[in-house]
Chain A
Amino acid sequence: MNPANLNTDAQTVTFAIMAAVLPFAAFAVNFLVFTKSKVAGWASTLAILGSSVLAATVFARVWNTHTIHVQTVWFTIGATKVYAGILLNNLSVLLLGLVSVVALPVHVYGTTYMKDDENFSLYFRYLSFFCFSMLALVIVDSLVLFYAFWELVGFSSYLLIGFWYHRDKAVAANKKAFIMNRIGDIGLLSAIIILFVQFGTFDIDALFRSDGLVASSVLANGEWTSTINHLPAMWHYIAFAGIFLAVAAKSSQFPLHTWLPDAMEGPTSVSALIHAATMVASGVFLLGRVYPLFNAGELTFLAIIGCFTAFMAATIALTQNDLKRILAYSTVSQLGYMVMAMGVGAYSSSLFHLATHAFFKCLLFLVAGVIIHEVKHISDENNLDIDPQNILHMGGLRKRLPVTFWVAIVGAVALIGLPLTSGYLSKDGILIQAFNWSDGKSGIFKLVPAIATFTSWLTAFYVARLIVKVFFGEFRLLQMKPNISVHISDGGWGYKAPLILLALCCLFPLFSINPFSYEQAWPFTGLMQANAPAVEGAYHLVVPVLVNVVSLLVMYGAYRLYSGRSTWAFPQNNLLFRISCNEWYIDRFYNRVIVKYVVALSTAAFWFDRKVVDGFIHLLEKTGQLVAKAAAWTDKYIIDGTLWLLAQIVQAIGNFTRRFQGGKIQYYLYSMLLAVIVFFVFKLIWT
């Protein structure tokens, strides 16, 4: 490597660090200067714009060329040096670019969306802090730093979800998100510690590169052997379990997914960001970082959990009526796809889907934000008491919100994965590789791609339902109350520009020249693992055709069903409907089985603390007081009393003797007489 190249690398690293630090600078400026000002929004937006430009530069320099890894000694414990540094490889620069590029329209949108909020500056402070955490998370090279930023992402999302802290539901939601994420954090921390014990380093590059320490460790005969240590194989599984918990918590996989739908209580633009490339993506990103750790069994576990999560979330999304909740479950479902893809070995497809999903999910959430904003506007104008997020009130909005309608169609089509969109490229990649993976395995494994395919049809159905209920047919609010006034529009460029930008990013040209072949998409080839299985076979043709034709039929069915052209309706009261509508009773199950007992245990602990621990302390205190009182009494009456008595005696003697020198004749006589008498008395006694 020549010196000029080194210089460029140092510059690239500086750019990457600056890209991460700029939002933090915006946070600091907003915190210190623009505490009450609308300028805060533009400060944050400018910072993220700067980050995007820098991230794009870094991306252009690193992507598919080489890995840059610089580090410096952070601290030393005994003989162990712990390094901190920056690791820029294809994965991290992709995420770096993705996060900043998706965050940019969200910021622009936020300046308009939040302009009437009294905590406008606070919102952008939180948002900048969140972006800083996430950007730093993707570029650090040490597991310790990774953990630190992982925590910060969780913490700032907690702040954002509970942004409207005066609403009880928002506070409950952010607590839930935080607690769920704590469970994952414990897992991640355990895994990091186990990895450190086994390999003696926190360095992600040294651990997880293709010829790294993890890849060269051997798991055989119940022993897990690395170059410096060997542990029972059990520890490998515990480390995996820890990582899985972390992924499940952040990326909202079953069984820790329930916080994500509740997290919709935050502002819609926050939902857009959390769901797109940041918070929930970090779990999949973590999987991508530590991928070499997993053995075949563990990958299968990931595939099954991911597949189940995708399916479960899709079935729940079918019956929800809250606009944002549908999208939230859709996110859970798509994240399930990504985890499943990791499990079936479709490493690059998983991350490719992460990238494409970021754009269209962000777009759909921003669309939801516009719709909610406009419906809320109607309800405020007419003093209606309705839930502005309920899709049952909507309908026919395509004529009133044309721009929103068209970008929503683009986002929806990308989410369903129809050809010519980015979603098609990434999702079909996952499905095809899942089918390939199940080949040569026993029949039960066929269920995974089968369920995944079925889930993609479910996706088509609920997305079509959402679009039709919102945009087609007649405006139901107007039908119910014909005399309300409806003045709504797409809004200004603060809304339109981000939406259009994101909509363009949902189309295939951003990712691939050939709209039908995911193998030519640059994120796919760039992230290809060296040892990934070759993709071939008839699935290439069969799967996309089958999936898309059925999806189209399903969408048409949903259109017929929900636009009012069919009199047939789903039964609303059978078991399946109830399971779906109640979100598989998972929350209720948690409340019954876990929360209740945890609360009871906490109450008991509280009682124990109050009564027993505090009681013991009180007892000690009382005893001490008693002893002190006794001591005080002794001091006052016995010791002081003795002294007092002595003083009194001495005083009495003094008073008594003083009289003999009183200067009065008769006392002198007394004294004389006394002396004579005493003399004679003694004389009498002794003779």
Chain B
Amino acid sequence: MIGLQDYMLVSALLFCIGLFIVVSKKNAIQVLIGIELMLNAAILNLVAFSRYDSFKNAGQMFALFAIVLAAATTAVALAIILNVYRRYKTINPDEVNQLKD
């Protein structure tokens, strides 16, 4: 029987994979994918927890909101990435090192 604990493990696994991708990849798109993974881990948690609130289904509602927000933020992020590329001629986040000052 698959319980809440298993969902949370998978979620944690996803979050860690996403986090790893975010800090290690040399490509902004991949970083974006990492971020999506972490977001999905959070959504998975929301969906898993919603089982204990079957009356209002608040968790599932939050998950839907999150999916929509994720789509929106991804669009914004892609726009930023395009702008970054236009300015730096690269989307390697290591080389985009002018965020200081």
- A-side residues, CB < 8 A to B, are 661-666, 668-670, 673
Which one of B5-13, B63-71, B91-99 is at the interface?
A: B91-99
- B-side residues, CB < 8 A to A, are 19, 22-24, 31, 93-94, 96-101
Given contacts A666-B23, A670-B23, 8 further A-B contacts (CB under 8 A): A663-B99, A663-B100, A664-B97, A664-B99, A665-B96, A665-B99, A666-B31, A673-B19
Minimum CB distance partner of A669 in chain B: B23
Minimum CB distance partner of A664 in chain B: B97
CA distance A668 to B99 in the complex (A): 10
Q: Can you list 6 A-B pairs with a CB-CB distance of less than 8 A?
A: A663-B98, A664-B93, A665-B99, A666-B94, A669-B23, A673-B23
Which residues of A have CB within 8 Å of B101? 663
Closest 8 interchain pairs by CB?
A: A663-B100, A663-B97, A665-B93, A664-B97, A666-B23, A663-B99, A666-B93, A669-B23
In the bound complex, do residue B22 and residue A669 qualify as a contact, i.e. CB atoms below 8 Å apart? yes
A666 in complex: contacting residue of B22, B98, B100, CB < 8 Å = B22
Minimum CB distance partner of B98 in chain A: A663
Which residues of A have CB within 8 Å of B100? 661-663
Give, as a whole number of angstroms, the nearest-CB distance from B1 to chain A.
30
Minimum CB distance partner of B101 in chain A: A663
Give, as a whole number of angstroms, the nearest-CB distance from A675 to chain B.
14
A664 in complex: contacting residue of B19, B22, B24, B94, CB < 8 Å = B94
Give, as a whole number of angstroms, the nearest-CB distance from A673 to chain B.
7
CA distance A665 to B101 in the complex (A): 13
In the bound complex, do residue A664 and residue B23 qualify as a contact, i.e. CB atoms below 8 Å apart? no
Give, as a whole number of angstroms, the nearest-CB distance from A677 to chain B.
11
Of B24, B98, B100, chain A has the most CB atoms within 10 Å of the CB of: B100
CA distance A614 to B59 in the complex (A): 100
Which residues of A have CB within 8 Å of B23? 666, 669-670, 673
Which residues of B have CB within 8 Å of A663? 97-101
Give, as a whole number of angstroms, the nearest-CB distance from B18 to chain A.
12
Which residues of A have CB within 8 Å of B19? 673
CA distance A267 to B19 in the complex (A): 115
CA distance A665 to B93 in the complex (A): 6
Which residues of B have CB within 8 Å of A665? 93, 96, 99
Which residues of A have CB within 8 Å of B99? 663-665, 668
Give, as a whole number of angstroms, the nearest-CB distance from A674 to chain B.
11
CA distance A661 to B98 in the complex (A): 10
Which residues of A have CB within 8 Å of B31? 666
Which residues of B have CB within 8 Å of A661? 100
Which residues of A have CB within 8 Å of B93? 664-666
Which residues of A have CB within 8 Å of B24? 666
Minimum CB distance partner of A668 in chain B: B99
CA distance A467 to B96 in the complex (A): 127
CA distance A670 to B98 in the complex (A): 17
Which residues of A have CB within 8 Å of B96? 664-665
Minimum CB distance partner of B22 in chain A: A669
CA distance A662 to B96 in the complex (A): 11
